[in-house]
């Protein structure tokens, strides 16, 4: 009971203190929407709203979750409030799950903001919402743990944002969000399949437009593997660099 209470106390504290702060709003919501509007402005033909929706959803999750962790973890470590959290009657793994659950929820909510806009502009009938939600959840978890890995690797918030862009911007162009992987140069295609967002975006493509190219169970296994790996590496780094 104490562990559960500590878990939700940490989660609610982060929701109250960090959610909807300017960095999260700008990177998590405004940036993906603005980037999407670029298609409308620069395109000389009608934009396929449903066609770009999987990419916009994936970007909203990616930028929202990584921005959230860059603020919460890095700021609390610098202010030394993270050290006080280590006194909570829970294990480090459960503590970090409490710190990351809020970002996961934030990312899931972010994913469906573009869906709300798209519902007024395009026909979304026939979408497999069950697999779409599963894909969004897995993208949110993987992206959050990527953000955690980044946050525990730096000391300042601006460093975390800069380091995040090292991963985020290549994913925008190499993960098949808007440009099919088959249309990329052959030399960079292997890199595309090394990035976790490729598999999350493919799940959304299969769910919304039925044009995915990877078996869903393969994508889920890859995303699960990335999630576990990033979480374990991050907690190992915390123990090695912040505790011992």
pLDDT tens across 114-150, in order?
888 888 878 888 899 999 999 999 999 999 999 889 8
Range in 70-74, 106-110, 224-228 with the lowest mean pLDDT:
70-74
Q: Is the pLDDT of residue 100 over 80?
A: yes
Which residue range(s) make up the domain with 75? 21-36+47-243
Residue 13 covered by a domain: no
Q: Can you give the pTM of this predicted structure? A: 0.88
Share of the chain above pLDDT 90, in %: 25
Query: Which of 242, 63, 244, 62 is CA-nearest to residue 153?
Result: 242
Quote the number of domains for the chain.
1
Q: Is the pLDDT of residue 43 over 60?
A: no
What whole-number distance in Å separates Cα of residue 178 and Cα of residue 49? Answer: 11
Query: Which of 201, 179, 192, 195 is CA-nearest to residue 135?
Result: 201
Give the pLDDT of residue 219.
Answer: 95
Give the pLDDT of residue 5.
Answer: 79
Give the pLDDT of residue 207.
Answer: 94
Query: Which letter, b or e, does each residue of 99-127 get, where b requires 16 or more Cβ atoms within 10 Å of its Cβ?
Result: bbbbbbbbbbbbbbbbbeebeeeeeeeeb
Q: Which residue has the higher pLDDT, 32 or 12?
A: 12
Residue 11 covered by a domain: no
Site of tokens 């469906």? 112
What whole-number distance in Å separates Cα of residue 75 and Cα of residue 68? Answer: 11
Query: Which of 140, 154, 144, 161 is CA-nearest to residue 237?
Result: 154
For residue 72, count CB atoms less than 10 angstroms from its CB and return exposed for 0-12, middle for 13-18, buried for 19 or more: buried
| Residue 219: both structure tokens together | 């994508």
Q: Is the pLDDT of residue 36 over 70?
A: no
- pLDDT band with cut points at 50, 70 and 90 for residue 53: confident
Residue 6 covered by a domain: no
Residue range 56-96, pLDDT digits in tens = 889 888 888 887 777 777 777 777 777 777 777 778 888 88
Residue 16 covered by a domain: no
Residue 81 covered by a domain: yes
Residue 112 covered by a domain: yes
Residue 75 covered by a domain: yes
Query: Which of 150, 187, 188 is CA-nearest to residue 171?
Result: 188
Give the pLDDT of residue 132.
Answer: 95
| Number of other CB atoms surrounding residue 180 within 10 Å | 11
């Amino acid at each position: 009971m104490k562990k559960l209470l500590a878990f939700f106390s940490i989660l609610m504290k982060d929701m109250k203190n960090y959610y909807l702060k300017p960095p999260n709003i700008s990177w998590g919501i405004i940036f993906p929407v603005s980037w999407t509007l670029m298609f409308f402005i620069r395109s000389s033909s009608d934009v396929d709203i449903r066609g770009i929706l999987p990419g916009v959803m994936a970007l909203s999750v990616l930028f929202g979750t990584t921005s959230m962790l860059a603020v919460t973890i890095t700021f609390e470590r610098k202010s030394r409030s993270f050290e006080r959290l280590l006194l909570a009657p829970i294990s480090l793994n459960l503590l970090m799950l409490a710190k990351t659950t809020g970002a996961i929820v934030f990312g899931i909510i972010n994913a469906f903001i573009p869906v709300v806009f798209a519902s007024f502009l395009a026909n979304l009938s026939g979408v497999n919402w069950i697999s779409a939600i599963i894909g969004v959840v897995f993208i949110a978890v993987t992206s959050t743990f990527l953000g955690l890995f980044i946050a525990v690797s730096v000391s300042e918030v601006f460093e975390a944002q800069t380091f995040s862009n090292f991963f985020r911007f290549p994913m925008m162009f190499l993960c098949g969000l808007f440009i099919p992987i088959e249309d990329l140069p052959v030399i960079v295609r292997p890199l595309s399949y090394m990035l976790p967002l490729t598999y999350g975006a493919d799940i959304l493509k299969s769910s919304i437009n039925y044009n995915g190219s990877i078996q869903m169970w393969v994508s889920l296994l890859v995303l699960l593997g990335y999630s576990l790996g990033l979480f374990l590496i991050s907690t190992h780094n915390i123990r090695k660099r912040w505790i011992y």
